[in-house]
Homo-oligomer: A and B are copies of this chain.
Amino acid sequence: MAKKKQKKRTQNYKKQIGQVPGALIYTGNKLDNKLHLHAFDYSDEEYKEADLPTVEDAFNFKDSETVTWFNLNGLNFIDQIEKIGQHYNLHPLILEDIVNTSQRPKIDEYNDYFFIVLKMMYYDESETIVSEQVSMVMGKNYVLTFQEAEGDVFDGLRERIRHKKGRIRGEGSDYLLYALIDAIVDHYYAIIETMGNKIEDLEDELFTGLTQEEISQQIQNLKREILKIRRAIFPLREIINRLEKSEGSLIDEKTTHYFRDVYDHVIQVTENIDIYREMIWSLMDMYMTTISNKMNEVMKVLTIMATIFIPLTFIAGVYGMNFKNMPELDSQDGYYIVWAVMIVIFIGMIVYFKRKKWL
Contact = CB atoms under 8 A, between A and B. Distances in A.
The majority secondary structure among interface residues of chain A is helix
A89 interface: no
A160 B285 CA distance: 49
A162 to B, nearest CB: 13
Contact of A298 (B179, B264, B300, B313): B300
Interface in A284-337: 284-286, 288-303, 305-307, 309-314, 316-326, 328-335
A24 to B, nearest CB: 12
Given A10-B193, A156-B18, A286-B216, A305 B310 contact: yes
A13 interface: yes
Interface stretch (A34-42, A44-52, A134-142, A183-191): A183-191
A231 interface: yes
Contact of A166 (B20, B103, B319, B331): B20
B260 A108 contact: yes
A205 interface: no
Interface stretch (A64-72, A242-250, A267-275): A267-275
A186 to B, nearest CB: 5
B299 A298 contact: yes
A196 B10 contact: yes
Contact of A335 (B6, B326, B333): B326
Interface string A6-25: 11001101101111111100
Given A16-B189, A189-B14, A220 B282 contact: yes
A264 B3 CA distance: 25
A87 interface: no
Q: Which of under 10, 10 to 19, 20 to 34, or 35 or more describes the interface residues of A? A: 35 or more
Q: Which of A190, A307, A321 has the most chain B CB atoms closer than 10 A to its own CB?
A: A321
Contacts of A182: 21
B311 A338 contact: no
B196 A6 contact: yes
A258 B93 contact: yes
Nearest to A323: B335
Given A10-B192, A284-B285, A324-B330, 16 more contacts: A13-B190, A17-B156, A20-B165, A21-B182, A93-B261, A102-B268, A223-B282, A288-B289, A302-B302, A302-B303, A312-B314, A321-B335, A323-B335, A323-B338, A325-B334, A326-B335
